[in-house]
Chain A
Amino acid sequence: DAGVIQSPRHEVTEMGQEVTLRCKPISGHNSLFWYRQTMMRGLELLIYFNNNVPIDDSGMPEDRFSAKMPNASFSTLKIQPSEPRDSAVYFCASSLRTSGAYNEQFFGPGTRLTVL
């Protein structure tokens, strides 16, 4: 299995630009998560999808952030406009939820975002 795939691996952009991060979960998984990792705040859950539906977006920092999951094999996290404080590593993770049980989350390699 290819694992969770994220693109790009590195992104450098200027303040005010739109940034789109992409994620392909593991085939057959029905839950998808976006996390942000910074030195100051550690690893934070931004949003959780189950069966392509956003279940919990309470971690999305502000309206500049949006996430979509148009189908079971693709999700995007968009920042518009981007700001320097958005610089972080963004991880996508997927898992298989069965009969109400939340199983192990498998993480992608992350996208390192730098906003100048």
Chain B
Amino acid sequence: GNSVTQMEGPVTLSEEAFLTINCTYTATGYPSLFWYVQYPGEGLQLLLKATKADDKGSNKGFEATYRKETTSFHLEKGSVQVSDSAVYFCALTPQGGTYKYIFGTGTRLKVLA
């Protein structure tokens, strides 16, 4: 079946540090891949997405590349800020398009000033 595996949190970084949050997936064919972010007290917001192999999604300084060969979609940011503190969810929708997101368990990021 389809699944998403994220690295365990929490991840604690100092401001301006480099961020990587690992995400790998299991799915047949070519799913669409997403990163959602959840700020404290709020709902999930789409951060970026990629719909085909080798696509790079980017937004607000965050990037993730769809790697079919390693079934990965790792989230990176070159210099984190305190305001990036949140929970990050990796997700997929199976090939062919569907409303059913498969979410990872989420990774909490804490950035210290």
Most B-side CB within 10 Å, residue of A42, A48, A56? A42
Most B-side CB within 10 Å, residue of A43, A56, A106, A109? A43
Given contacts A42-B105, A102-B93, contact A93 B43 (CB under 8 A): yes
Closest to A100 in B: B97
**Residue of A56, A91, A102, A108 touching B97 (CB-CB under 8 A):** A102
Q: Kindly list chain B residues whose C-beta atoms are within 8 Å of the C-beta of A56.
A: 99-100
Please state if A102 and B98 are interface contacts (CB–CB under 8 Å). yes
Chain B interface extent, by class: 10 to 19
**Residue of B45, B46, B97, B103 touching A42 (CB-CB under 8 A):** B103
- Tell me if B42 is interfacial: C-beta within 8 Å of chain A: yes
Q: Kindly list chain A residues whose C-beta atoms are within 8 Å of the C-beta of B100.
A: 45, 48, 56
CB distance from B30 to the nearest CB of A (A): 15
Closest to B41 in A: A109
Main secondary structure of the interface of B (DSSP, over half): loop
- Residue-wise, chain A 31-43 has the 8 Å CB interface mask toward B (1 for contact) of 1010000000011
Interface size (A, Cβ < 8 Å)? 22
Given contacts A107-B44, A109-B43, contact A42 B99 (CB under 8 A): no
Q: How far is it, in angstroms, between the C-alpha of A10 and the C-alpha of B105 when the chains are bound?
A: 22
Please state if A108 and B43 are interface contacts (CB–CB under 8 Å). yes
- Residue-wise, chain A 1-21 has the 8 Å CB interface mask toward B (1 for contact) of 000100000000000000000
Q: Kindly list chain B residues whose C-beta atoms are within 8 Å of the C-beta of A42.
A: 103-106
Q: Kindly list chain A residues whose C-beta atoms are within 8 Å of the C-beta of B62.
A: none
Binding site for B on A (CB under 8 A): 4, 31, 33, 42-43, 45, 48, 56, 91, 93, 95, 97, 100-102, 104-110
Binding site for A on B (CB under 8 A): 41-46, 89, 93, 97-101, 103-106
Given A93-B44, A108-B43, 7 new contacts (CB under 8 A) = A48-B99, A56-B99, A91-B44, A93-B43, A100-B97, A105-B46, A109-B41
Rank and list the top 7 A-B pairs by shortest CB-CB distance, nearest first.
Answer: A107-B43, A43-B103, A107-B44, A102-B99, A42-B105, A108-B43, A109-B43
